[in-house]
Structure 1
Amino acid sequence: MDTHTRKERLIGVVMLCAGLVYLVMTMNLPRKGFIDAAFVPYVLAFILCLLGVLQLMNSRKPANAGKPAEADDGEKVPADYPTVLKTLGLIVLYTALLSTVGFPIMTALYLYAQFIVLTPAGQKVNHIGYAVIAVVASLVIYYIFRHGFDLLLPSGFLDI
């Protein structure tokens, strides 16, 4: 077994164990119904366990299947550090302004800006499509958390 396969299996085992520990800890939370404060931790624990199992299954594939991305001519594609730095900057800005501006507006602005950052360089930016998706997603998420889970998200100066 080569080093790559061992690392992949170790990652899978660690993820599965972390998911199981998180699931056991979540089981100790008091329950008041199907959707309550323990619902999201249960979902996250099951997802982490599932990812661990998928990682273990993926580690059984040959090591050459996990080679780094290469261009069509066989050269390695360089890492895109500016995109990573822009994303980190957007996340910092989002968290800094979330309580002041509010979840619906900041989430819509963050998603719109993130869509633009992640648009490939050779592709035209679809401003209208990105704006519509960002606004609709922000409002749907806010509505689900506010009325479905009965959890308050910062509404900022909208005071919804």
Structure 2
Amino acid sequence: MSIVHKYKESFIGIGAGVFTAFVYYNTGYIENRGLTGRFYSATIPQWICYAMWALSLILIITDIRKVRRREDSGSREGTKTNINWLAFILTFIVISVYILIMRPVGFCPSSSAFLFALTCILSEPKERNYILFAIISVIVSVAIYYIFRYGLNLMLPRGIMPF
């Protein structure tokens, strides 16, 4: 078994950490829109980067422990994973469509549709509750819009929405 396959999740954690470093660097270019004191327009994105670094580190540590436990026990269980390729491809398509429609349609409707579609794709067919998924998608999208627009004074694409 190759080292890349053996420590797959560790490499994912390293990649996420490097990507987060790139995002953190770019938070320096976020324009401050009138916020003063301890909070600026880049504050929340930087906090999210700190959380992402912590999660990446946790992923790396847990993967290394898991591989060591597997080697100590001599077990080969957990080395083969089944990938749901249909869900993977549909997720990629949904993300691509979301990116394309966000500006013309607006953040709230496109994010609601994105969250609803992604929740339906990633949930088990037996456990799907479409009404609950729709309600949560709309509430989360509107809450995020208001937090960014009025709490952080950052513009998100308004699109067809009047507010």
User: Structure 1-normalised TM-score?
Assistant: 0.72
- How many percent of aligned residue pairs carry the same amino acid? 23
Please state whether the residue corresponding to 2:37 is helix, strand or coil.
coil
Shift of 1:118: 1.2
Q: After superposition, where does 1:53-132 map in structure 2 within 5 Å?
A: 53-63=57-67, 69=78, 76-121=80-125, 123-132=126-135
- Asked whether the 8 Å contact 1:145–1:152 carries over to 2, the reply is yes
Q: With structure 2 as the length reference, what TM-score do the two structures score?
A: 0.71
**Aligned length in residues:** 152
Take 2:124 and 2:36, find their aligned partners in 1: how far apart are those partners?
46
The aligned residue for residue 38 of structure 1 is 42
Aligned residue type for 1:146: R
Amino acid at match of 2:115: L
Residue 157 of structure 1 deviates from its aligned partner by 1.3
Residue 73 of structure 1 corresponds to none
Distance 1:96 1:18 in 2: 22
Residue 139 of structure 1 is aligned with which of 135, 139, 142? 142
Structure 2 segments unaligned to the other structure (5+ residues): 71-75
Measured at CA, do residues 27 and 159 of structure 1 come closer, stay the same or move farther in structure 2, by a change above 3 Å? closer
Q: Is the 8 A contact 1:15 1:51 kept in 2?
A: no
Q: Say yes or no: does 1:151 pair with 2:154.
A: yes
In structure 2, the CA distance between the partners of 1:32 and 1:105, relative to structure 1 (3 Å rule), is same
What 5-or-longer segments of structure 1 have no aligned partner? 71-75
Root-mean-square deviation over aligned CA pairs? 3.6
**CA displacement 1:2-30 (0-9 Å, x = unmatched):** 9446x94x776776677678768868988
Higher RCO (C-alpha 8 Å, min separation 6): 2
